[in-house]
Amino acid sequence: MDKKNLAFGKTNYILLAIGMAVVVIGFILMSGASSNETTFNPEIFSARRISVAPVVTFIGFISIIGAIIYRPKNEEGTKE
């Protein structure tokens, strides 16, 4: 298969994998024990779950968009 026919380069795939890993880390930070009808768990309102995890997830999604948009420089010096 010719490299010209591929949608992304190696760098794009690496950046996509990093972005997906950051999103997964953000969702893991959001997870935890929940409250039910009989017991209340105040941990559901922790700073990690309310503010840190959504920011990490958002950064991951933005980095995925950046990885899709990223276009490596043409090494041959010709425009195509």
Tell whether 74 is covered by a domain. Answer: no
Tell whether 29 is covered by a domain. Answer: yes
At how many degrees (to 10) do helices 10-30 and 53-69 cross?
170
Tell whether 75 is covered by a domain. Answer: no
Tell whether 77 is covered by a domain. Answer: no
Tokens standing for 59? 């950064």
Mean of the per-residue pLDDT values for the chain?
86
Tell me what pLDDT residue 2 has.
59
- Asked if the model's pLDDT at residue 38 lies above 80, the reply is yes
Domain of residue 50 covers: 3-69
Contacting residues for 67 by C-beta, under 8 A, at least 6 apart: 12, 15, 16, 18, 19
Tell whether 76 is covered by a domain. Answer: no
Tokens standing for 4? 């010209």
In terms of pTM, does the model score above 0.75?
A: yes
Give the 3-state secondary structure of residue 73: coil
Distance CA 59, CA 21 (A): 11
Q: How many domains does the chain have?
A: 1
